[in-house]
Amino acid sequence: MSLPAYVPPQKMEILFSRDQIAERVHALGTQISTDYAGQSIVLIGVLKGAAIFLSDLARSITVDNTFDFVAVSSYGRALVSSGQVKLIKDIDNPIEDKHVILVEDILDTGLTLSYLRQLMLQHKPASLKIATCLDKPDRRLVPIEADYVCFKIPNKFVVGYGMDFAERYRGVEDIRIYPDTPAGH
Ligand code: IMP
Ligand code: MG
């Protein structure tokens, strides 16, 4: 399959600027630090999209924290309704009796986080919460809500701040609206 033509990010409308993102991520970090005061937490980022959000969020959290990463296979969009998600990289360190926060770039249909939440619960953490940079509630196929959300957004396909289209644009600093809606969205 050939790559679609490259659209320069400057040509895409900004949904949230880097300053708006920084402000919200900082607010989330402060909230998390208050909620977990005196405790230790494990942040588990979902590769690759959450890597940038996690690195900013972790630097806004003032309580004792460590991080880990998981990766899941991106199910073909045609398979979305089957809910097929596969783990391709597991956590490195045990999380039993730990306070865990799953960190995602975007909560869309909810299939990925529902799967990961069930999987992580099998490790018997002391608690498990979800932080997501973006939430698209209109697209949900399974009932799941995040505990910490930077922005709720309408049903538009976005890139930047870790989020990609065909692996591109993850390093774009603002969150921008991709001009076409990719198949399946
Ligand atoms: P879901 O909640 O299982 O549908 O999957 C969420 C994942 O789909 C996210 O982690 C992203 O990788 C991807 N995704 C959903 N919406 C977008 C978008 O607008 N831009 C980029 N990736 C998206
Ligand atoms: Mg992702």
**pLDDT per residue as tens digits for the range 47-106:** 999 999 999 999 999 999 999 999 998 765 544 455 688 999 999 999 999 999 999 999
**Cβ–ligand 1 contact at 158 (below 6 Å):** yes
Alpha-carbon distance of 95 to 53, in angstroms, equals: 21
Identify the residue with better confidence: 30 or 85. 30
Mean pLDDT of 172-176: 98
Q: pLDDT tens, 118-157?
A: 999 999 999 999 999 999 999 999 999 999 999 999 999 9
**Full DSSP string of 70-137:** EEE----GGGGGGT---EEE--SS--TT-EEEEEEEEESSSHHHHHHHHHHHTT--SEEEEEEEEE-G
**Cβ–ligand 1 contact at 111 (below 6 Å):** yes
Ligand 1 closest atom vs CA 165: 21
Q: Contact, 15 vs 177, CB < 8 A?
A: yes
Q: Contact, 76 vs 101, CB < 8 A?
A: no
| Closest by CA position to 146, among listed 116, 179, 181 | 116
Residue 135 annotated among the catalytic residues of the structure: no
**pTM over 0.75, yes/no:** yes
